[in-house]
Structure 1
Amino acid sequence: MLPSQIFCLWKNAKSFLKNTQTPKTPCVICFNLFCRNARLKVSDIDFDRMTIYIRDTKYSKNRIVPLSKTMKVGLEKYLKHVRPKLWLFEGYDTSKHMATNSIGSLFRETLKKTNIKKRVTIHTLRHTYATHCIEMGMDPFTLKELLGHEALQTTMLYLNLATVKKSNSFSPFDKIYATKN
């Protein structure tokens, strides 16, 4: 997708998340930006430190990501409403986590309620999130860790999609020689 299309999709995400019937849907979708499955335990959320512990990832690499203030508010509503015991997002069998294909189904059902007409997958939101992080000035090394990428080259693909503001660009000569004058 072009950067303008990605921006349009992200802008529509607000209406997308408003079209949900329970607090579970926006939480599942937002958490899927960081991890591709719903294997998060209630104990993986640390509200005091504002972090999320992500385990058992694609590359079997555990990591800690920040919990945004906005996600915290939504998550607190979800926890108050649903009261999960072990898994943050329980499946039909509450002793198991929500299945990955259930996340996709939930996403597709919610997407039908929006005005978004282009073909979008849950992974498109992950790409959108990463692209906006780059556009907002996050360095690729931090984004690599946040997304749990094994190789920096995977993260660098988002640089091709990102539109970096000219105000963020500079000539290294200006920085190098500014200290000598």
Structure 2
Amino acid sequence: MTVRGTKIEVDKIHRPKRSKVLPNVLSKGEIKLILNAHSNIKHKSMLSMIYSCGLRRSELLNLKFSDIDSKRNIVLLKNAKGKKDRIAPLSPKILKMLRDYYIAYKPKNWLFEGQISGEQYSEQSLQNVLKQALKKAKISKPVSLHWLRHSYATHLLESGTDLRYIQELLGHSSSKTTEIYTHVSTKSIQQIKSPFDDL
């Protein structure tokens, strides 16, 4: 590349480092408070699905009832981010919750529908469901729906799940993306003894 007669070697241009922002993670206790905050089965099911399956907001809203495979205890996520399909395990507790929800609401098209039958639940309404849960649970942190996904990944890692499986469950194409959770997992950090204790 030449600028005003001066040859510039592109390879030698110093690129600024990208800041490494750690994902925000909630404790299991905080997650429990949030998920139990709503008595409304639909609201409770939506937040529980995001955490228990590590879903992105759009993945939850795009789910249809046919994507739930109760025989194999899995949820099929079609055309997720990066145009990839993937599966996530469904806990028996979630399956029971979804059955109760289905009996109460009988959705026609989407798994979670808005106030108008057959219409998709809106992102804004889902944000409000979380906002109300935080208020009821008296949690003042600026929690977003993505924090539930981050917490799912971190809690899996802390309970000994292999990073490669977590990568698969989250639908990450690069293991580098999943490795960020090793920096927020406190299990190994808590086992390190401070030299201060030996003084």
TM over 0.5: yes
User: What does residue 153 of structure 2 align with?
Assistant: 130
Q: What does residue 55 of structure 1 align with?
A: 78
TM-score of the pair, normalised by structure 2: 0.74
Counterpart for residue 173 of structure 1: none
| Distance of 1:95 and 1:81 partners within structure 2 | 15
- 1:48 is displaced (CA, Å) by 1.0
Paired residue for 1:90? 113
The residue identity in structure 2 corresponding to 1:25 is H
C-alpha displacement of 1:120: 1.2
CA distance in 1, matches of 2:118, 2:181: 37
Matched, 1:79 2:97: no
* Identity %, equivalent residues: 34
Q: Indicate the residue corresponding to 2:41 in structure 1.
A: 23
The structure with the greater share of residues assigned to strand is 2
Aligned residues: 164
Change in Cα spacing, 1:59 to 1:2, as seen in structure 2 (3 Å) is closer
CA drift at 1:150: 2.2
| TM-score, normalised relative to structure 1 | 0.81
Deviation at 1:79, TM superposition (A): 1.0
Structure 2, unmatched stretches of 5+, are: 1-20, 192-199
The residue identity in structure 2 corresponding to 1:104 is Q
Offset at residue 86 of structure 1 (A): 1.6
What does the per-residue CA deviation read over 1:8-40, in whole Å, with 9 as the maximum and x for residues that have no partner? xx3122232222131111211122232322100
Amino acid at match of 2:55: F
Q: 1:86, 1:121 → 2: CA distance? A: 26
2:91 is aligned with 1:68: yes
Structure 1: 5+ residue runs without aligned partners? Answer: 169-181
Q: Secondary structure at the match of 1:112?
A: helix
Greater Rg over alpha carbons, structure: 2
| 8 Å contact kept, 2:88–2:169 | yes
| Counterpart in the other structure of 2:16 | none
Mapped partners of 2:72, 2:127: distance in 1 = 30
Where do 1:1-181 residues align within 5 Å? 6-7=26-27, 10-32=28-50, 33-37=54-58, 38-165=61-188
The DSSP-based 3-state class of the residue aligned with 2:75 is strand
- SS at 1:56's partner residue? strand
Deviations 1:46-94 (A, max 9, x none): 1111110111212111111110111112111111111111210012333
RMSD value over aligned CA atoms? 2.3
